[in-house]
Structure 1
Amino acid sequence: MGLIEDMKRFLESQIDDFLIKNPHLELQVIGEQLAQQETDTMQLIVDLKAQEKLTEQEILNTAQEIKNWYDRVQRATAAGRTDLATPAQERVNALLPQGNQLWGKMKGLKERITQAQELLATIKTRRVEVKAKAATAQAQANRDRVAAQSSTSSWGSANNYTSSRDLADPLEAQFRRWEEDEELENLKRNLGK
């Protein structure tokens, strides 16, 4: 387990170093995370609204049931049937708390929908900000790359004779590939330790 943990820490530090050297990529990752959060939040809003509709229907059904039982209480009482009126009133009394619970649930769902919509607006704003920063960082990285290439090409023109001779020499090219492959293999072996 120690080797795996060491390898994991090494890779994480390499990724962190890479992202520090390439801030536009880090911003791109953050942008992708925000896009996923935006999608998740939109799905949450859809789910909450579906629950709200179901709860509305349950409230309407419960209200209708209360009304029906209340009408029965009235009819039984008017007919002098206390044997029916009393249990019907008990049914109404049992349904009223159920209606109150559903009403509370509806209120909670409405609050959660409002909070999710506010969160969605915040995520969208943040995403626009990150996108702008990423574009600025990318532009800066491009300017830095062009500047580095300009300095390299001016240095390279001084050594133009050597470079063109090395490129034209197939044996030189083969040796360079072989040396690069050896370096890559050494790196792989060192990472495997």
Structure 2
Amino acid sequence: MGLFDDLSRFLENRLEEFLRNNPHLELEALLEQLREQEEDTLKLIAELQLQEKRSQDDILATATEIQKWHVRIQKAKAGNRLDLASAAQEHEASLLRKGNQQWGHMQGLKERIKQAQDLLQKIQVRRQEVQVKATEAQQVRNQQAKTQQTKTQEPLETSGWRSSTKTSLGSFDELEEQFRRFETDDELDRLKRNMGKK
């Protein structure tokens, strides 16, 4: 039962605590661990079912032996061979005890199979839960990557806008300066003409 106890404790306590304390955790490793536990549990179930089949075969063989000795007891009694009947009854009693032990062993195997199947179901549920969390975490990482990419692109676009604005503003300032010179020169020419007329 050590395997059941260890896995149950892991599933019931450690997994929840682990996920709570490590939200940034790479969940793929945890999923792989759960897949391995699922595989191990499936192998255990197969082995226990094989043992159960052998146990059933042993019980049937013992039951056949008991029937055979029961018939022999009846024959010995009918033939007035009480010494043989008594020995046969002892042997039959021994076979009945053996059959009871085999039955108990088979019932124990059935119980272990049931526990392993319950455990398998818990592992599968947990694996699905972790898979959902892993998918959500991946979506969050993808979203963060997109956001980061957008932030990285924004300064480039903004700086591109600023540099083109500076270029435009620079060109505008230059144009403004040229017009001022032109207007100043024009004003000077006008003043010179006016002075020349006087």
TM-score of the pair, normalised by structure 2: 0.66
The amino acid that maps onto 1:154 is E
Counterpart position of 1:87: 87
Deviation of 1:155 (Å): 3.2
Deviations 1:20-59 (A, max 9, x none): 5843x2x211111111111111111111111110000000
Query: Over the residues paired in the alignment, what is the CA RMSD in angstroms?
Result: 2.2
Cα separation, 1, equivalents of 2:24 and 2:122: 26
Cα separation, 1, equivalents of 2:91 and 2:131: 59
Counterpart position of 1:45: 45
Pairing 1:110–2:91 present: no
Q: What are the residue-to-residue correspondences of 1:139-158 with 2, within 5 Å?
A: 139-156=139-156
The amino acid that maps onto 1:52 is E
Deviation of 1:153 (Å): 2.7
Moved more, 94-103 or 81-90: 81-90
Cα separation, 1, equivalents of 2:35 and 2:133: 15
Cα separation, 1, equivalents of 2:80 and 2:23: 88
The amino acid that maps onto 1:149 is Q
The amino acid that maps onto 2:125 is T
Larger Cα Rg: Structure 1 or Structure 2? 2
> Is the 1:22–1:141 contact (alpha carbons within 8 Å) kept by the matching residues of 2?
no
Instruction: Provide the aligned length of Structure 1 versus Structure 2.
Output: 141
Cα separation, 2, equivalents of 1:128 and 1:83: 67
Cα separation, 2, equivalents of 1:51 and 1:120: 19
Counterpart position of 1:64: 64
Counterpart position of 2:16: none
Counterpart position of 1:191: none
Deviation of 1:158 (Å): 6.5
- 5+ residue gaps, structure 1, are 1-19, 161-193
The amino acid that maps onto 1:133 is K
CA gap 1:72/1:118 in 2 versus in 1, 3 angstroms: same
Counterpart position of 1:179: none
